[in-house]
Amino acid sequence: MTSNDKIKLSQNIAVIAGIFCSVVALLLLLNFWQISKADPIKSKAMEVLVERLKDDPNNDGLKAEIRNFDLLARKAYFNSQWQIQTGAVLLILGAIVLAFALRVYYSAKAKIEVPDTVLENEITSRILAQKGIIIAGAAVFILAFAASFASVNYLDKYNIEVAVAENEQQPVDEGIQVIDVGSAKTDSAQAVTSVDSASPVGSTDSLKTEVAPAAVVLSAQNIKSNHNSFRGPFGQGVSYQKNIPTQWDGATGTNIAWKTAIPKHGYNSPVIWGDKIYISGSDNQSREVYCFDRATGKPLWTGKADNIQGSPANPPKVTADTGLSAPTLATDGNHVYAIFATGDVIAFDMNGTRVWVRNLGVPDNHYGHSSSLIVWDNKLFIQYDTNRGGKVLALNTATGETAWEKTRSSKISWASPVLAQVDGKYQLILTADPIVAGYDIKTGEELWQIKCMMGEVGPSVGFADGIVIAANEYAKMVAIDVKTKAILWEADEYLPEASSPLAYNGLVVIATSYGILACYDLKIGEKYWEHDVGKTLYSSPAYADGKIFMMDNDGVMRVYEFGKEMKLISENKLGEKAGTTPAFANGKIYIRGDKNLYCIGN
């Protein structure tokens, strides 16, 4: 590069850097002007609310409104701080580039041979040009300093304590609404008052008082004793319950303990903790969570997912076979968690009091969101793979705040996360196009990934004995050794569209949408048997009490002996359509039909 080239290049860079710095400084000043004209703290509405609260200090509705103002103030503050910090960094970088470019410019100019005759007006022009550059640079920095000092930390002026009690908890994450219901503690229980949160099925009551049990510490043992997520403990499709019935008939009532009408439609499966069973339902008007008594089927309460900041005014378009409430709920014995196709995530306590709620953004999904929830280690895990890209996140179960969030190199999917214990530690395993991957549950760090999937992935993975089974229609079925990251075998004869593989005790069972149930060897992929049922299979095969339970979309459940030979034990008609996966507890089967919730067993 010649000296003239260096002069031209450095001059252009200096001009661009100067313009850039000026624009950034101007934007900072405009930011200050905008904030000064619309101070988010000095709100007439806030002043009115505070005055009203002074007259009525026990009004929980006023407290909730004040919290919302507090959230807006904090959002405005953190946004302005981010803009100031980002602007300052950009100004520094721009100034460095400007100084470097000027240094190169003058250095290159100095190396050019000075002509024998220099006219006086040329010298004057050079001096003026140098002064102009210096003045322009000084103006840039003056603008920057003015913008920095003019910016105000409005949070220092804001004291929400005059409006709410000192012990009221304020969420940090944007978009989270935490409901403080007040408490009166005793040695054994805590009285909880629900404000505008949930009411029993068929009731219009919005205020009730319940007694909350002592906090549950989630463990592998109490998860296995319940059925707390999609496909049971850890999402693996294996139940540890015994004495499960194998014969019933919904039409005649044979071996039907009870059935209860479900207020709103949904494709999620039941989850169970202790003596309570939970499902959700929705339509274009509302989204709801239902709690029933597990022994009698009596409706206990309904929780409404409404008044959620960021939730769309109109629900997104979804297909009829997905709907707005396809994801199965999760519970940890303290709270029950639900997510809907609107992107709304909500937590209730076991008595129906709303604890927190937030909107993750409406998922860009041409069928509707259907990834189910799973909970462990005080975190609620959400697979959020949409047309905008892949993502998995963990929310704090107590507050709804984001514990961690991980962007994934994957496309849209409808699969659900599965928890797997590897070398004594649990990891989250997800499948989508094109990867199957494991994530650290504490940090979200991707531990491993295998590129082996394709298409619109709906089935979740199966897991047993350190082997992950991932499969999808028009792709293939793959067995992955988690420890070695090696693919043990592949198959493509029978592949599921929606049904998730069942892996347990050396076997793999898969169900195709066109009605084939097939069994393979877990380690080598040898096919042992197949059964053509001739019906659509969207439900996932489930293991319980030495048997396979497989529901078809017409509501007929087939029970097989779990083994290397195909032995059909029974075919049982529910009496209505059903494509969901069953739940098991205390010698009973719980099945969600198209209109009713059933308890099977005497």
Question: 3-class secondary structure for 333-368?
Answer: CCEEEEECCCCEEEEEECCCCEEEEEECCCCCCCCC
Contact between 211 and 190 under an 8 Å Cβ cutoff? The reply is yes
Q: CB–CB of 532/515 below 8 Å?
A: yes
| Every domain range in the chain assigned CATH 2.130.10.10 | 220-600
CATH topology of domain 220-600: Methylamine Dehydrogenase; Chain H (2.130.10)
Taking phi over 0 as left and psi of -120 to 50 as alpha, with beta for the rest, 534 belongs to: left
Token pair, residue 72, equals: 């807006």
* DSSP letters spanning 530-573: EEE--S---SPPEEETTEEEEE-TBSEEEEEESSSS--EEEEEE
- Residue 494 identity: Y
Alpha helices in 38-59 (DSSP H): 44-55
pLDDT of residue 191: 31
d(CA 329, CA 339): 7
Dist. CA 457–CA 451, nearest whole Å? 13
CA–CA gap between residue 547 and residue 63 (Å, rounded): 53
d(C-alpha 414, C-alpha 368), whole Å: 9
Supply 45's token pair: 């509405």
pLDDT of 186:
33
Tell me the residue type at 586. N
Angle value at C-alpha 495, between 489 and 499, nearest 5 degrees: 115
Between CA 303 and CA 306 the distance in angstroms is 9
CA–CA separation, 408 and 37 (whole Å) = 41
| Residue 515 DSSP class | S
Segment (H or E) for 428: strand 425-431
Q: What is the pLDDT of residue 106?
A: 76
Please give the pLDDT value at position 492. 95
Structure tokens at 98: 């400007």
Q: What is the DSSP string of 160-228?
A: GGGTS-TT-----STTEEE----EEE-SS-EEEEEESSEE-TT----EEEEEEPPPP---HHHHHTSB-
Q: Tell me how crowded residue 509 is: count the other CB atoms within 10 A of its CB.
A: 26
Mean pLDDT, each 10-residue run in order, the chain (602 residues): 76 86 82 61 62 68 63 60 76 85 76 52 56 61 57 43 39 56 34 36 38 79 97 98 97 97 97 98 96 98 96 94 96 98 98 97 94 98 96 97 97 97 96 98 97 96 98 97 97 97 98 97 98 97 98 98 98 96 97 98 90
Residue 462 contacts residue 508 (beta carbons within 8 Å): yes
Residue 84 pLDDT: 75
Cα gap 600→258, rounded to integer Å:
7
Q: What is the pLDDT of residue 157?
A: 40
**CB 333, CB 222: distance < 8 Å:** yes
- Residue 198: per-residue pLDDT: 38
What φ, ψ does residue 464 adopt, rounded to 5°?
Answer: -165, 140
On whether the pTM is more than 0.85, the answer is no
Three-state DSSP class for 260? strand
In three-state secondary structure terms, 70 is helix
Strand 379-383: give its sheet, edge to edge. 374-376, 379-383, 390-396, 402-408
- Predicted confidence at residue 179, as pLDDT, reads 58
Q: What pLDDT does 359 receive? A: 97
Beta bridge partners of 462: 469
Tokens, residue 165: 């009690």
Query: Do residues 21 and 95 lie in contact, with contact meaning Cβ atoms separated by under 8 Å?
Result: yes
pLDDT of residue 188: 33
**Tokens 């998860």 -> residue:** 223
Peptide bond into 434 cis (omega under 30): yes
Bridge partners, residue 405, by sequence: 393
Helix (H) or strand (E) holding 527: strand 527-532
